[in-house]
Amino acid sequence: MATDNFEPKARKGDWMQTASGRAFWPMDPRPEEVDIEDIAHALSNMCRYAGHCRRFYSVAQHSVLVSRALPSDLALWGLLHDASEAYLVDVPRPVKPFLDGYKAAEGRVMEAIVMRFNLMPAEMPAEVKRVDDAILHDEALQLMQRPPMGWHLPEPPLGIRIEPWSPDYARTVFHREFRMLTHG
């Protein structure tokens, strides 16, 4: 396998190769290295709930559904609210608090994403977080086995119907939504 003979400027941590073939430093992310094609590809191939749903359900589809449930001025934020997972993977909520450094890494990657796509406001709006929490009800009822105990969900369900998409379709829809929202 051929490699480029270049030494990148000093960066924190090591780099990973993205789907498009780019180098990305997840511990030292830069906005110019964030690519929507890489995000759409990775999220469409990543299953929510650490793969424990009854059928494959991608982070990309989840992001599209969150985006569509928001007012138009927040829809792009909704689409990209989990974009850091394209570079850090989707870690289940009960695990995240116990991974030292994960929250900081996630924050740095999201900061690069916010800058790259000029998201406003720069911090995730409360309404995006509320919809992200609310869709958990819909996902739990439609995609998961009957729970052994309550999930203690903070928001009522959105009341949307979820029919899981294939990874290829999820990538296509995610990218189409991005183009529509950015007029690109």
Domains of the chain with CATH codes: 24-182 (1.10.3210.10)
DSSP 3-state assignment of 23? Answer: strand
Q: In percent, how much of the chain has pLDDT > 70? A: 95
At residue 6 the predicted structure's pLDDT band, cuts being 50, 70 and 90, is low
Strands 23-24 and 16-17: antiparallel
Question: How does pLDDT run across 49-72, given as a tens digit for each residue?
Answer: 999 999 999 999 999 999 999 999
CA atoms lying within 13 Å on the CB side of residue 139: 26
Q: What is the pTM of this model?
A: 0.93
Nearest to 90 by CA among 50, 57, 124: 50
Lowest mean pLDDT among 114-118, 130-134, 149-153: 149-153
Which ranges of the chain would DSSP assign to H, the alpha helix?
Answer: 36-44, 59-68, 75-80, 85-88, 102-116, 126-143, 167-182
Report the Cα 3 to chain-centroid distance in Å.
Answer: 29
